[in-house]
Structure 1
């Protein structure tokens, strides 16, 4: 039997994404060995059917765990999943959050930081509710209505959505290093990249800075908040560039 396993986050089935993310979230100690074995088992199961389980058991009877060391390497890299699952009755964020405002992103960003600190399901589900919206657009006043819908999804699906959001956040900070410069952080070669401690830079601070900027490239605070996230970041980058030119000219 030819054994083929996914080689990237984007190749995982929805079932595999949910299960692997749940395994990672449940790791409490520095020892990743037990989780490592569980992840390999999930990589060998395309779904949660009985026949898929039997296939996985057969493979592990005939192949050593070490045979999958190379295949599982992508788990330790930055995840490249940027598309959000659909939730009936709501509009999901576009790929890489391309259609959300900086205000919406800022709220989600704050909740992500709180969740990473406290690991409470309540905060997790608040973040999911803030990511989705009705067709009429994002409104903080309707978050309770949205939560009535998003709270019905499973915990594993909620974890998956938040994991995707954190992957997009890493993508954004990597794309705009001049806005979010890298700082010293905890490093552990045996941990996946997304489990290391990143210094926190709240996006809300960036929004206020842009609104207070004398150039007013996007207008006042309300105008800034309603700007799409990538338009906002590009404008903020341009503002920094102009200010640097002015400073250099005064030397």
Structure 2
């Protein structure tokens, strides 16, 4: 976190205020994350990022604005996070929905299959319907992920502000970047076509289940990180 001291003039008097500015994505508050992804005017964005009134930002000199703008360099430098900024969503008639845990811990593999497929599809063809499905399958009740519940919530997700949904999609993309670096054998850099991600996860699931069809639902609940470790182990064994 960057510690900032801002000096400005007010009624011919010099005043100062001390605040902070994020140095990476993971230090941002939900309000800052939404502001950054919704692209408001420059004064509004700086006010939110600095957590100070907009009227103070308007009193800053062009040089001060320029220097503060340099603090946004972390957006290009730091392109991954391990947790969601918006940890909850309040949905009318659906209550409060929760994001997956940091590092996608305890996230069922089948939930990841759906989410990642929707995300990759939206990256190729950004349809609002796909975005709604992505968020609906990503955020779950406290009781955990359930496909029937996720499908039922899609219509309710449509009523949320599109900027919020896009911020969630970006957040997942940053987490996905973190996951790909943690499991490089599972996510080879050359494999980023839509075809490789639309079908390969279901192929992986079928390979894990094998002939044990009666326990298919049990395998679907296996935490995704456990599946990634299993795949990594198998790839390493195959290279010996």
- The normalised TM-score by structure 2 is 0.74
- 2:57 aligned partner: 56
Q: 1:241 aligns with which of 211, 236, 239?
A: 236
User: Are residue 173 (structure 1) and residue 183 (structure 2) matched?
Assistant: no
Alignment partners' CA distance in 2, 1:56 and 1:133: 38
Structure 1 residues 138 and 215: alpha-carbon distance in aligned structure 2, compared to 1, 3 A threshold: closer
SS in 1 for 2:88: coil
Question: Secondary structure of the equivalent of 1:44?
Answer: helix
Question: Which residue of the partner structure matches residue 116 of structure 1?
Answer: 123
- Per the TM alignment, residue 48 of structure 1 is displaced from its structure 2 partner at its CA by 11
Give the 3 Å change call, closer, same or farther, for CA 58–154 of structure 1 in structure 2: same
Q: Using the alignment, how far apart are the partners of 2:116 and 2:208 within structure 1?
A: 22
Q: How has the CA–CA distance of structure 1 residues 45 and 81 changed in structure 2, closer, same or farther, with 3 Å as cutoff?
A: farther
Matches within 5 A, 1:118-137: 118-137=125-144
Indicate if the aligned counterparts of 1:6 and 1:12 stay in contact, CA closer than 8 A. Answer: yes
Equivalent residue number for residue 202 of structure 1: 197
The residue matched to 1:58 in structure 2 has which SS?
coil
Residue in 1 that maps onto 2:162: 155
Gaps of 5+ in 2: 7-19
From the superposition, tell whether residues 216 and 175 of structure 1 become closer, same or farther in structure 2 (CA, over 3 Å).
Answer: farther
Structure that is richer in strand per residue: 2
Q: CA deviation at 1:65?
A: 4.1
**Cα distance change, pair 215–63 in 1 and its aligned pair in 2 (3 A):** same
RMSD over equivalenced CA pairs, Å: 3.2
User: Is residue 16 from structure 1 mapped to residue 16 from structure 2 by the alignment?
Assistant: no
- Following TM superposition, by how much is the alpha carbon of 1:136 offset from its aligned partner in structure 2, in angstroms? 3.7
- Structure 1 position 76, deviation (Å): 0.9
Deviation at 1:122? 2.0
CA 1:123/1:140 → structure 2, altered by over 3 Å: closer, same or farther?
A: same
Match among 95, 99, 104 for residue 111 of structure 2: 104
Kept in 2: contact 1:211–1:224 (CA 8 A): no
8 Å Cα contact 2:21/2:49 also seen in 1: no
1:164–1:130 distance in 2 versus 1, CA, 3 Å: same
The 1:243/1:6 distance shift into structure 2, 3 A limit, reads: closer
Match of 2:220 among 222, 225, 234: 225
Residue of structure 2 equivalent to 1:27: none
Q: In structure 1, list runs of 5 or more residues that go unmatched.
A: 24-34, 185-197, 246-251
* Counterparts of 1:7 and 1:140, CA distance in 2: 37
The separation in 2 between residues aligned to 1:238 and 1:215, in whole angstroms, is 17
Q: Give the distance between the partners of 2:198 and 2:126, measured in 1 at CA.
A: 21
The aligned length equals 215
Task: Please say if 1:94 is aligned against 2:101.
Answer: yes
**1:111 Cα deviation (Å)?**
0.9
**3-state SS in 2 of match to 1:211:** helix
TM-score, normalised to structure 1, is: 0.72
